[in-house]
Structure 1
């Protein structure tokens, strides 16, 4: 297969679709953040998938940004960098949850409990130092990145505009999470997951359209112009 910008954009669209569906779907099967669950197979599978979601999401938003880099301007760049940093944070956090927490749960359950408290929204007690600021940092870049990138998409008029609005609104809605239990608040991810998948589909469709032979151009192997 020949590697072209069109093919890469299409692949980024598929990556974003997959990442969005994973982000939303994981919320329904995520085990409760308790030490007893950390060594189970369900915990491992969910966090392997979350690492994959982070990698695919990073590839997806990169393709989205490059598709509309001129139209989104500085606002789009800011949103892309913030969301990219969010996905990198997700990858790092999920790696810890998948590969570091299970041994800790057996050998040092009190430390595993403290780490789960950070990721689960429990109040920090200072025992883990700077690590306790991860949840606040992740919230900030998620909120600001989703808002700015979503608005930039809407203004650019290149990809699905209402998907951009859904991304912005879903990201901003996380400000209400302190009002709900963590098990309920995690479903605030659904609008963002849908928006990312929607934008990925929009990117994929637009890539297929622009990648098609233009009207009246010669198609390789046919020897003459073919009207589209």
Structure 2
């Protein structure tokens, strides 16, 4: 099988679309923080799905950036890197949530409760170490990176502009969840998922620059004239 740049870009588009679909799906019927504990199978399933989503989203935004890096400029690079760091941190958080926290419920219940509280924007009762930094990086990278990257995608106009605008607005709006009731958490996530789906489809349908492949023409003024054909200078 031959791997081409176009094929990789289309794969990145598919990854972004699937990531957006997963992000929307995991919000459906999501339990409240008070009843959602690491002891349940649903916790592991949802955290695992979010891990897959973060990995696919990272591949998707990488394809989006590579598709238009010349037009994106320095701001595009900064936006992509910050957004990518946010998704990497989110991936790490969700892997820990799915694979580590359930095993600590019996031995370290207080620590687990503090991590869950911090992940939902609350204040932990005790120090949770580097996990707090990881959560902060995930949140800041998602909000700031999503805003800047969405603005750059909108400015370049290579992909669907309304989806780029939705990505910028929806990720930035996440900052408001710090002061809003928990009931807003799930609805606020849906627009970002829709934006990823639309951008992924747009990347799939528009994986490379369209170039004219017609025969090359040479201006007559640029054609070389052999010495034998040159007029004599009198």
Range into which the TM-score falls when normalised by the shorter chain: 0.7 to 0.9
Match of 2:160 in 1: 160
Contact 1:117 1:123 in 2 (8 A): yes
Q: Which residue of structure 2 lines up, in the alignment, with residue 207 of structure 1?
A: 207
Question: Structure 2: which 5+ runs fail to align?
Answer: 216-234
Note the alpha carbon deviations across 1:90-127, whole angstroms, 9 max, x for none: 11000111011111112221111111111121113442
1:8-60 CA-to-partner distances (Å, cap 9, x unmatched) read 00000000000011112212243444587312221111111111101101100
Please give the alpha-carbon distance, in whole angstroms, between the structure 2 residues aligned to 1:70 and 1:117.
42
Shift of residue 175, structure 1, vs aligned partner: 2.3
- Please report how far the alpha carbon of residue 141 of structure 1 lies from its aligned counterpart in structure 2 after TM superposition: 1.4
Instruction: Tell me the SS of whatever aligns to 2:106.
Output: helix
Q: CA RMSD in A?
A: 2.2
**Structure possessing the higher radius of gyration over alpha carbons:** 2
1:141-180 Cα distance to aligned partner (Å, 9 max, x none): 1111111101100111111111111111101211221232
Q: Is the 8 A contact 1:31 1:42 kept in 2?
A: no
Give the aligned partner of residue 81 of structure 1: 81
- SS of aligned partner of 1:159: coil
Distance 1:36 1:174 in 2: 21
Indicate how the Cα distance of structure 1 residues 209 and 78 shifts in structure 2: closer, same or farther if over 3 A, else same: closer
Distance 2:202 2:157 in 1: 11
Indicate the residue corresponding to 1:195 in structure 2.
195
Give the whole-Å Cα distance in 2 for the aligned partners of 1:42 and 1:150.
32
Aligned equivalents of 1:27, 1:18: Cα separation in 2? 15
Matched, 1:123 2:123: yes
Q: Are 2:102 and 1:102 equivalent residues in the alignment?
A: yes
Task: Measure the CA separation in 2 of the matches of 1:46 and 1:105.
Answer: 17
In 2, distance between residues paired with 1:69 and 1:36? Answer: 41
The CA distance in 2 between the partners of 1:139 and 1:37, in whole Å, is 21
Cα pair 2:167 2:191 within 8 Å, conserved: yes
Going from structure 1 to structure 2, the CA distance change for 1:9 and 1:210 (only over 3 Å counts) comes to farther
> Contact 1:126–1:132 (CA<8 Å) still a contact in 2?
no
Deviating beyond 4 angstroms after TM superposition, the runs of 4 or more aligned structure 1 residues are 208-211, 214-217
- In the other structure, the counterpart of 2:8 is 8
| Equivalent residues, number | 215
**So what's the TM-score if we normalise by structure 2?**
0.84
3-state SS of 1:15 partner: helix
- Which residue of structure 2 lines up, in the alignment, with residue 226 of structure 1? none
Partner of 2:147: 147
Would you tell me which structure has more helix in proportion to its own residues? 1
After superposition, what is the alpha-carbon deviation per residue over 1:196-222, rounded to whole angstroms, capped at 9, x for unaligned?
1111000001128959xx8889xxxxx
